Copies of this chain bind each other. A is one copy, B any other.
Amino acid sequence: MDIKAVVFDAYGTLYDIQSVASVTEEAFPGHGNAITQIWRMKQLEYTWLRSLMERYEDFSVVTHESLIYALNVLGLTYDTDVLARIMDKYAHLDLYNDARDALLALKGRKLAILSNGSRAMLDALVRNSGLDRILDATISVDAVKIFKPSPRTYALVETTIGVKPNEVMFVSSNPFDVCGARAFGFNVAWIERVTPDAVALEFANRDLVSPLSMFKAVRTQMDELGLQPTCRIRTLAELPAAVAQIDRR
């Protein structure tokens, strides 16, 4: 079976969402780590809850509302300028240092992003990082007004770039996204950016942990949803070989 398209999740897979921590720490010294972790947890939750409640709003709204939640629960005060400065970082997230080379090595196949991000957020992010010159398509779930892992989001790949699910290699670091994509019928490479061993070590015999440890504990390990990735990689540099292996099957 030939892989005709390689489709990437954006946030946490190509782009380092933890890189917002520098901006949150600058705005709220001593609280950057807690804000960043609570913000991301609520951001994901709100995508799931709004989808289930049938009250979709786009990812910029969800991202803004989850930031408000994080600041309020920590008892921090803020003005619209601070919010705008933090939100702006979402258009300038750091590209993981293994991302560009992996994309270039896969040229010849169709290359795309499929992301929860709104059209405007993704366009800015892709342009600012220079990936607009490499990708064939940047697909936003906004077209179907529901978030991952709804099967309607993954169906956008075929309707947008015309490649059937079993000819797609989907790449994500987010376990829930891996499960959703597998349930839909994609081949899926799970990039493990943190190992479970590292989490166990951080919790070993400790009553107190950092907010980041708690975040890792609920986001790092493959979810127990009865689904497994097609393959596991530790860096995007391993991706071309993983794709070639499926070609040969």
Distance in Å from the Cβ of A156 to the closest Cβ of chain B? 15
Whether, in the assembled complex, A33 has its beta carbon less than 8 Å from a beta carbon of chain B, the answer is yes
Q: Are A65 and B209 in contact (CB under 8 A)?
A: no
Whether, in the assembled complex, A246 has its beta carbon less than 8 Å from a beta carbon of chain B, the answer is no
Counting chain A residues whose Cβ lies within 8 A of the other chain, the interface size class is 35 or more
Q: How many angstroms between the C-alpha atoms of A99 and B199 in the bound complex?
A: 38
Whether, in the assembled complex, A15 has its beta carbon less than 8 Å from a beta carbon of chain B, the answer is no
Q: Which residues of B contact A97 (CB under 8 A)?
A: none
Q: Are A73 and B224 in contact (CB under 8 A)?
A: no
Among B33, B45, B151, B196, contact of A72 (Cβ-Cβ < 8 Å)? B196
Distance in Å from the Cβ of A42 to the closest Cβ of chain B? 6
Binds B, one of A47-55, A85-93, A106-114: A47-55
Q: Are B179 and A53 in contact (CB under 8 A)?
A: yes
Q: Which residue of B lies closest to A73 (CB)?
A: B221
Q: Which residues of B contact A226 (CB under 8 A)?
A: 55, 57, 65
Whether, in the assembled complex, A30 has its beta carbon less than 8 Å from a beta carbon of chain B, the answer is yes
Binds B, one of A122-130, A160-168, A210-218, A228-236: A210-218
Q: Are B53 and A221 in contact (CB under 8 A)?
A: no
Among B68, B209, B211, B218, contact of A45 (Cβ-Cβ < 8 Å)? B218
Q: Are B55 and A200 in contact (CB under 8 A)?
A: no
Q: How many angstroms between the C-alpha atoms of A21 and B196 in the bound complex?
A: 23
The residue among A146, A148, A214 with the most chain B CB atoms within 10 A of its own CB is A214
Q: How many angstroms between the C-alpha atoms of A221 and B75 in the bound complex?
A: 11
Whether, in the assembled complex, A150 has its beta carbon less than 8 Å from a beta carbon of chain B, the answer is yes
A contact residues vs B (CB 8 Å cutoff): 30-31, 33-34, 37-38, 41-42, 45-46, 48-55, 57, 65-66, 68-69, 72-75, 146-151, 176, 179-180, 183, 196-197, 199-201, 203-205, 207-211, 214, 217-218, 220-221, 223-226
5 extra A-B contacts, CB within 8 A, seeds A38-B218, A72-B196, A73-B196 = A49-B179, A49-B223, A52-B148, A53-B149, A75-B197
